[in-house]
A = this chain, B = another copy of it.
Amino acid sequence: MSVVGIIAEFNPFHSGHEFLLNQARLIAGNDPIVVVMSGNYVQRGEMAIMSKYQRAKVALQSGADLVFETPFSTAVEPADLFSLGNIEQLAKLGVTDLVFGVENANLNFAYLGSKIAEIPQNHMDFKDYSQTYSTQYNQMVAREVGHEVNQPNAILGLAYAVANHNLGSPLKLHPVNRIGAGHDDLLQRNGVVQSASAIRNLLLHGEDTSNLKYWVPKAEAIELSKQEIYPNWNLLYPFLKYRIESSSIDDLRQIYQMSEGLEYKMKQEIHLSRDFTEFLRRIKSKRYTYSRLRRLSLYTLLNVTQDDMIASFNEESLMLLGFSKTGRQYLKKNRKDFQTEIISKVDKRSAKSGSLALQVRTDRLFEQIMGVDQNFGQRPIEV
């Protein structure tokens, strides 16, 4: 039995993801494809462009059998923690194989992952404050494996491989070439594939959406075209500004990842910044990447403290967003053996603590912006 797992954001779901699901189906056969998908907030530190239910639905319609929501405390984290949390959850769900898209599937990810995982920890204590952590990490990887790994999906794939190794290799790794990469880029040139970020940009800039149907499943294209608001940082910036200006330095210092005086810097610069881009530029230093600072801004916006994250880490449950018939059967048969708690219905008790409490609270702003409840009163989608 090959229960195939996919780690995803689907922000939004597009034909490249369809291709990945088809590749996963080749491995899974009649066994289920299990997706752990980030909720309404994504790794690069922003709100998703479409609600988690809408994104889960299209994934199910495109071949996924189970879609679970990755807890915020795993979803909005750098690649290493993002990978560790997601792979651990997949393993707890009985997943045996991980399928992921990369620019070059010929790399031996399992081997590279184990090699990097065994680099002594003290080699990772980067002390050069004039470079970001991720730059120094990538340089270290290049030294150790003999060549640079600098394409975004390869870097993420490597992080999966390292995490998998560190967890005792519960998953068999199946890197697959992404559409639009290498020999497939004919498809990209012909406009059959667009990256998620290209699609987001098109939506955010209010451009003509008539080509959407070539890039995303038709039902999704219709939903996206009808959507009145596309969440983005420009929309959220007044709330961030209000939050930072009305918070005391002590309040800000409680925020997860607020370190090295960034609370003073943020308070000073937000007052002078007209928009989010300017704010990010003003707080940028050599030490931190934009992704890190965008995530920090998101934690601040959502009032996510160090304590909140620890409470969530320590009690991560998985919210079931939807299932197919195959998915339901798998769930029915195996649920009792899962090493993780599955939430099918949010109620006051389950929302009281742990990752679900954080999810409910952070989703409130998404609900305020979009006008649709995301947890209470929602049930998993059946496809």
Contacts and interface: CB of A to CB of B under 8 A. Distances in A.
Contacts of A271: 364, 367
Given A247-B303, A251-B303, A303-B251, A242 B361 contact: no
B368 A238 contact: yes
Interface string A364-381: 110110000000000000
Contacts of A302: 246
A245 interface: yes
Instruction: Tell me the dominant secondary structure on chain A's binding face.
Output: helix
A301 B364 CA distance: 16
Contacts of A364: 242, 245-246, 271
A241 B243 CA distance: 12
A365 B245 contact: yes
A347 to B, nearest CB: 15
A251 B304 CA distance: 12
A367 B241 CA distance: 11
A239 interface: yes
A3 to B, nearest CB: 37
23 contacts: A238-B368, A239-B239, A239-B242, A241-B368, A242-B242, A242-B243, A242-B365, A242-B368, A243-B243, A243-B246, A245-B361, A245-B365, A245-B367, A245-B368, A246-B301, A246-B303, A246-B361, A246-B362, A246-B364, A246-B365, A248-B308, A251-B303, A271-B367
For the complex of A and B, list the 5 residue pairs with the smallest distance between their C-beta atoms, beginning with the closest.
Answer: A245-B364, A246-B303, A239-B242, A241-B368, A246-B302
